[in-house]
Amino acid sequence: MSFLRVREEKSTFAQKVCVGRVGKLMRQTAMIGPGARVGVAVSGGVDSFVLLNVLRLRQRIVPFRFDLLALHVNPGFDPASHAPLADWCAGKGLALHAETTDHGPRAHSPENRKASACFYCAMLRRTRLFQLCEAYGLTHLAMGHNADDLAATFFMNVFQTGRVQGLSPREPFFQGRLVMIRPILTVEKDHIKRAARQWGLPIWSNPCPSAGATRRSDFEDWLKEMYARDKRYRANVFGALTRWQVPEGPADGAPRAAGREPDHSGEA
């Protein structure tokens, strides 16, 4: 039996969905190209951890070289919480920049007078991620937004701001010097959670006191209630938003792999 065959037999459906849909979206949007230097924002949650692992596997599949750097900005509630990430990256030979900040406590302090704690903390974190991208000379910043995030963001914008706006899979910043990418934007949360368990990723709990008590959480709960009424609703929402948000065919200049892609999705 061939080595490739063994790898294919070890892959689960959820793992193949994650790796395959990311590859399809990368080709459709010309997400990255040869020589890309990609920073991966890893919070320690299931989405960003799966994103990091999938991009690591995609490095072995695409017909060009790109580099990865895991970026972890600890919000400061538990300075040692990211130890599992450091150990995992060391074991996989992945470069990691991890630092502890005071973003979380500041967001829950009188310093934050108007914005929600989550909004303020996210703003501080994104600013720091942009600074790290510049310091390391990165060309791309990968974020772990998934298909469920796309749906929640779309409806939040419709109800709260009156705008029809979702999440872009590829978004330039600073006159194009940095491109924010969302490789798992078309992958549902259920597949991500299953794949994370099957890969044995060391996810840790979120120590933020506002976790699960945000406006976004309210919209996510509302969508779950709607999906429970009819099993077609989820597929229809994801399908409609994906067709609207993502180009149907490969973008001009998108790198294309020759022949059938090898399957590395079952690797730990």
The pLDDT, as a whole number, for residue 213 is 66
2 is in an annotated binding site: no
Spatial separation of the C-alpha atoms in residues 47 and 206, rounded to whole Å: 13
Taking residues 224-243, what's their average pLDDT? 95
258 is in an annotated binding site: no
73 is in an annotated binding site: yes
Question: Among 29-33, 206-210, 259-263, which range has the highest average pLDDT?
Answer: 29-33
Paired sense of beta strands 170-173 and 178-181, if any: antiparallel
The pLDDT, as a whole number, for residue 248 is 64
Taking residues 233-238, what's their average pLDDT? 96
Confidence of residue 134 (pLDDT cuts 50, 70, 90): very high
Confidence of residue 266 (pLDDT cuts 50, 70, 90): low
Percent of the chain with pLDDT over 90: 72
38 is in an annotated binding site: no
- Report H helices in the chain: 3-10, 13-28, 46-58, 83-92, 103-107, 117-136, 147-161, 189-199, 215-229, 231-245
Spatial separation of the C-alpha atoms in residues 29 and 168, rounded to whole Å: 10
Q: What is the pLDDT of residues 195-231, one digit of tens each?
A: 999 999 999 877 777 776 678 889 999 999 999 999 9
CA torsion through residues 19, 216, 234, 231, sign: positive
149 is in an annotated binding site: yes
The pLDDT, as a whole number, for residue 258 is 34
Confidence of residue 147 (pLDDT cuts 50, 70, 90): very high
Coil/strand/helix, residue 251: coil
Most distant pair of Cα atoms in the chain: their distance: 64
CB 66 within 8 A of CB 38: yes
Spatial separation of the C-alpha atoms in residues 195 and 10, rounded to whole Å: 12
Of 93-97, 111-115, 185-189, 225-229, where does mean pLDDT reach its minimum? 111-115
Spatial separation of the C-alpha atoms in residues 153 and 168, rounded to whole Å: 11
* 11-38 burial code (b ≥16 CB/10 A, e <16): bbebbbbbbbbbbebbbbbbbbeeebeb
Spatial separation of the C-alpha atoms in residues 104 and 76, rounded to whole Å: 6
Confidence of residue 263 (pLDDT cuts 50, 70, 90): low
Side-chain-side CA neighbours of residue 24 (13 Å): 15
Confidence of residue 9 (pLDDT cuts 50, 70, 90): very low
Looking at CATH, the fold of the domain delimited by 3-245 is given as Rossmann fold (3.40.50)
C-alpha 56 chain-centroid distance: 13
Confidence of residue 1 (pLDDT cuts 50, 70, 90): very low
Burial bucket for residue 93 (CB in 10 Å: 0-12, 13-18, 19+): exposed
The pLDDT, as a whole number, for residue 262 is 54
- pLDDT above 90 (res 20): yes
- pLDDT above 90 (res 241): yes
